[in-house]
Structure 1
């Protein structure tokens, strides 16, 4: 029986009351503060002032705990909108915002089955909002937008982590590596790339995300209009 269907143990008098919801909230707080490496059943139990063995009555493994954490965050992703394009834009934007709030989610989202009640409710809202998009096209279209959102926000989180690890923001990185790139491009081996780096507009993360999403939605609209 999967964890979402397994009943919780009966309540017993104890110094610290427990429930799966309390356990998951505590695990999310630890992960938000210090990353997934800070999450273990032992550490969650300590945060709840409970013995680790008590948690095993509610959650059998760390993998179950991670599944529950991911599903809890799916409750924060509630796509809305009138028509398939608005719903898909909301799907992408709410996904991105959730990962920015919970950086650890970048390591899990898309890599685990989205079968919990919050994930299923989100999926139902998206599919129901797709309007007259043919049933055979609904999931490929939704998957394309989800893949774009996850890939884009993972790149953003990777850059954020790199800034923390190196102590350099994007401007400092450009100053550091600028001379190397100038020497490399001066060889004439990469003329197209040099032109883009030198002459193209450089957008921030928000603008880049919106533009890429517009390109994708425009392509979907063209395909659906055939």
Structure 2
């Protein structure tokens, strides 16, 4: 039986009472501080001042714990405000929520993708996204068109968010901000461009608006949603 259908054990009087919520919150705190490699049932038990075997009354495996952590983060994402017939605004709100959650909890991006998450908050977010996309021109009740649109949105969000997280981690590892790294690499690229190499890249670097990550995320999403509307 999946953990989503398994009742939580009744509470016991103890110096360190446990619940799935306390276990999950402790695990999220560990992951936020030191990444997913810092999360284990033994380490969570130590944080909660409880024996590891006690945790197995609530969670059978680390995989179940990760599922619970992912769903807790999905639960932080607010439902989109009613936008009437503006399906793009609703999709935009939902995927911005994913990006915001990943920036608060970088490990969350590492667990996105693959098979759908089946927790109630994750399924609610998925259903809200499908509902919004269903209102796009030409999709309606066509399940295949709806799934193609969903895969396109999920693929964009996963790639964009992971790219942003990788850049943040690289910045911390190198000790250089994005601007500092660009300044260090600038002379090398300038010489390559002056020699006539990489003309398309030279055009972008020399003439682009250099948007911040949030603006770039929204701009790319708008391109995708325009394509969904045009291709339906």
Instruction: String of CA shifts for 1:72-122, please: whole Å, max 9, x gaps.
Output: 111122442423212211121111111111111111112353111111122
1:131 and 2:135 aligned:
yes
Deviation at 1:173, TM superposition (A): 0.4
User: How many pairs does the alignment contain?
Assistant: 224
- TM-score for the superposition, normalised by structure 2: 0.90
Structure 1 stretches of 4+ moved >6 Å: none
Report the counterpart of residue 101 of structure 1 in structure 2: 104
CA-based RMSD: 1.7
- TM-score for the superposition, normalised by structure 1: 0.92
Instruction: String of CA shifts for 1:107-162, please: whole Å, max 9, x gaps.
Output: 11123531111111222223334337323222221221222122111111111100
- Which of the residues 145, 163, 185 maps onto 1:177? 185
Report the counterpart of residue 149 of structure 1 in structure 2: 157
Report the counterpart of residue 7 of structure 1 in structure 2: 7
CA distance in 2, matches of 1:16, 1:167: 40
CA distance in 1, matches of 2:115, 2:231: 29
Report the counterpart of residue 85 of structure 1 in structure 2: 88
1:56 and 2:62 aligned:
no
1:76 and 2:82 aligned:
no
CA distance in 2, matches of 1:112, 1:140: 16
Q: Structure 1: any 5+ residue segments left out of the alignment? A: none
CA distance in 2, matches of 1:112, 1:27: 22
Q: Structure 2: any 5+ residue segments left out of the alignment? A: none
CA distance in 1, matches of 2:187, 2:114: 39
CA distance in 2, matches of 1:111, 1:142: 14
CA distance in 2, matches of 1:200, 1:6: 53
Deviation at 1:195, TM superposition (A): 2.0
